[in-house]
Structure 1
């Protein structure tokens, strides 16, 4: 009854199934490992940010360039405050507001963007106090330059003078006549009247859409493996039933199924 399994047609079906199932399981397992690695990276990044709050601050030069290992670390740097800008459409504790961003001119000639704090409401220069004058030493959490469109960073253009949508060297270099560090810091303690902006985890370390896409792909590959097994059993059952019916003479032959010529 199962002699049909040795036919070329079923050899092809069997080889396909034997290759498809391991492949689907492998791909599903790989996607699951990607999701698990993103979860672990998310946990490590959150722990890194939390641990950095209790670590001793290090000179800015020792932490550059910013990467996943240095993002969130406490940095210290000296200089003089220069141009001040506002970063609108920033939320803190569920409230709308804006960052107060001031460029700190260092001895290197480059400027470091420093977020001195957050204020609620619409961005307005009249509400913001002037930065301290003279030589200052600031300490805060180091952050990588922002990318418009990521992590809620606005892509809005045409902002009023004195405002910027993203804290990045690429955006700020067009607003000031001196080079800007490809990084920024948020002060441990905000200046008077402002709220300190907490450090965030490094980019590509959170449970973002890509992580849940990996989880979705995991389910899809395992479903494909199960569907392949289901279809193989369905085809096998259908072939067995056909062979059984043929053995019992329940399947009409081709001659009896052929249309009979009609008399003229």
Structure 2
């Protein structure tokens, strides 16, 4: 069979099968490499506070590489802009987030941003927003989808949508919102809000996520590579078997011819 495999046509076929298998293996490697997704931004970067102005632009959708970042900003709350988002969990208990409009110093177009001031257990009127200039540190989060059918009789909103709040507040609002972790006055004094608990949102999970569909495709490409080589082997083996059958037929024909030509072959047949 080795002699058959060294026929020029099968050597060329082997080269083609190897090239094809190499391509399949390369595709398999790409699929396996794409099966694990890393977080958009590493935790060592997101936990270092940066100014909001400069990190995120007004009128631009908050992308994954900008979200989840600890940011700082200065400015002041706008009175009468409180909204409550429900239901929201805090230490395993259902309640509401208290969200207020915050005018950001240095923001273009006098833009504001939605700030989660904290959590309270009931959807009752929250305490007044802290007055004066404030320094806020918190996590920048992507906006949630707007509520399609809001019941105007409900005191709460189901989602925290910056687009929806922009219409409510009638102002230019940053995409996304900030969950305030720390709130201080311009003099550095800690701000306390009656009846409102501070909400802390940790960084997003940093574990690589496995896409099993990509893993399945990767295995498929390996199978295809093996099949290309197997197909070449089967064709060589079939050719070898045909050669063997042809040789056997030629040998049998030659044996019959030799038997017919042997002296006395006719007499023995008549006997």
> In 2, are the aligned partners of 1:186 and 1:199 still within 8 Å (CA)?
no
Q: Which residue of 1 aligns with 2:162?
A: 169
Q: Which residue of 2 aligns with 1:254?
A: none
Q: Which residue of 2 aligns with 1:223?
A: 223
> In 2, are the aligned partners of 1:144 and 1:182 still within 8 Å (CA)?
no
Structure 1 pair 105–69 and aligned structure 2 pair: CA distance change class (3 A): closer
The within-5 A match list for 1:140-151 is 140-146=137-143, 148=145
Q: TM-score, normalised by structure 1?
A: 0.66
Q: Which residue of 2 aligns with 1:88?
A: 86
Match of 1:75 among 72, 77, 81: 72
Structure 1 Cα separation of the partners of residues 93 and 222 of structure 2 = 43
What value does the CA root-mean-square deviation take over the aligned residues? 3.8
Structure 1 Cα separation of the partners of residues 231 and 95 of structure 2 = 57
- Is residue 122 of structure 2 the alignment partner of residue 129 of structure 1? no
Structure 1 position 86, deviation (Å): 2.7
Structure 1 position 163, deviation (Å): 4.2
Q: Which runs of 5+ in 2 are unaligned?
A: 184-192, 251-271
Structure 1 Cα separation of the partners of residues 244 and 127 of structure 2 = 92
- Is residue 185 of structure 2 the alignment partner of residue 160 of structure 1? no
Q: TM-score, normalised by structure 2?
A: 0.64
The within-5 A match list for 1:9-158 is 13-14=13-14, 16-35=16-35, 38-39=37-38, 41=39, 45-49=42-46, 52=47, 55=48, 57-65=49-57, 68=65, 71-82=68-79, 83-90=81-88, 98-107=96-105, 108=107, 109-119=110-120, 125-126=123-124, 129-146=126-143, 148=145, 157-158=148-149
Structure 1 position 113, deviation (Å): 0.8
Give the greater-gyration-radius structure (CA).
2
Q: Which runs of 5+ in 1 are unaligned?
A: 149-154, 251-264
Structure 2 Cα separation of the partners of residues 165 and 206 of structure 1 = 29
Structure 1 Cα separation of the partners of residues 162 and 207 of structure 2 = 23
Once the two structures are superposed, residues 65-97 of structure 1 have per-residue CA deviations (whole angstroms, 9 ceiling, x without a partner) of: 365267412313221234122333545666655
Structure 1 pair 180–163 and aligned structure 2 pair: CA distance change class (3 A): farther
> In 2, are the aligned partners of 1:140 and 1:187 still within 8 Å (CA)?
yes
Structure 1 Cα separation of the partners of residues 201 and 90 of structure 2 = 9
Residue 172 of structure 2: SS of its match in structure 1? Answer: coil
Once the two structures are superposed, residues 155-175 of structure 1 have per-residue CA deviations (whole angstroms, 9 ceiling, x without a partner) of: 752133454444443332232
Structure 1 position 198, deviation (Å): 0.7
Structure 1 position 27, deviation (Å): 1.5
Structure 1 position 197, deviation (Å): 3.5
Structure 1 position 185, deviation (Å): 1.2
Structure 1 position 199, deviation (Å): 4.0
Once the two structures are superposed, residues 30-89 of structure 1 have per-residue CA deviations (whole angstroms, 9 ceiling, x without a partner) of: 2333345x33x46x523434xx1xx4x443213223652674123132212341223335
Structure 1 pair 194–19 and aligned structure 2 pair: CA distance change class (3 A): same
> In 2, are the aligned partners of 1:60 and 1:77 still within 8 Å (CA)?
no
Once the two structures are superposed, residues 113-158 of structure 1 have per-residue CA deviations (whole angstroms, 9 ceiling, x without a partner) of: 11123456xxx632x523424224242334243354xxxxxx7521
